[in-house]
Amino acid sequence: MRMIGQRLTQLRAQRFPVEQKATPGPISTNAVPKNIRIGEGKIGENIPLIVEYELKSGYTYEKPAGKNAAEIIVAGEVIFEATKKESDELIAGWKKDKLVVKDYMEVVLQAILNSSEMHAITLAKDMNLPSPIPLPRVGVGKQE
């Protein structure tokens, strides 16, 4: 199963009113599949499989406790080329438990993150918020 496309359906960033003595708190980011369905047409012998997703980042304050500071939402679809067997397994697992079958979880989640993370980081930058995803840091060690 391989990713052949992606499509954004929603980009949203919102700041909430802030109190003067507010203390920034943790950032929580979660990416989840929202639906899995078969697309129209065929790709040779294979089938287009569409995974709808949502990445949501919530910014809260430590003081006052639990108060929301901002929210970023990136939603879209990742399109895969799947065999009949792969699509049947994924659709059956989704219909049964609303979960991605374990054998395909890594591929699906990595595609969702690849499709959405940069948009979330850009929205955070535009809204003057810290990055919702930890960025790589350079560490300089002592030279011997």
- What is the 8-class DSSP label of residue 125? H
- Please state, for a pLDDT cut of 90, what percent of the chain lies above it: 43
Q: Which is higher by pLDDT, 85 or 64?
A: 85
Checking if the pLDDT of 13 tops 70, the result is yes
The pTM assigned to this predicted structure is: 0.82
| Cβ–Cβ under 8 Å, residues 50 and 43 | no
pLDDT value for 20:
67
pLDDT score, position 51: 94
Name the percent of the chain lying above pLDDT 70: 97
Give the residue, 53 or 22, on which the prediction is more confident. 53
Band of the pLDDT at 45, cuts 50, 70, 90? confident
Residue 61 counted as domain residue: no
Indicate if the pLDDT at residue 141 is higher than 70. yes
Flag whether 62 is in a domain. Answer: no
Q: How much is the mean pLDDT over the chain?
A: 88
* Enclosing domain of residue 10: 2-14+28-56+72-126
User: Is the separation of the CB atoms in 30 and 54 below 8 Å?
Assistant: no
Helix (H) or strand (E) holding 11, with range, is strand 2-15
**pLDDT in the model for residue 103:** 86
Q: Is 33 helix (H, G, I), strand (E, B) or coil?
A: strand
Counted domains in the chain: 1
Residue 91 — φ and ψ, nearest 5°?
A: -65, -45
pLDDT in tens, 100-138: 888 888 999 999 999 899 999 999 999 988 889 888 888
Is residue 104, in this structure, part of any structural domain at all?
Answer: yes
Classify residue 32: in a domain, yes or no. Answer: yes
Strand segments (E) across 47-127: 47-63, 68-82
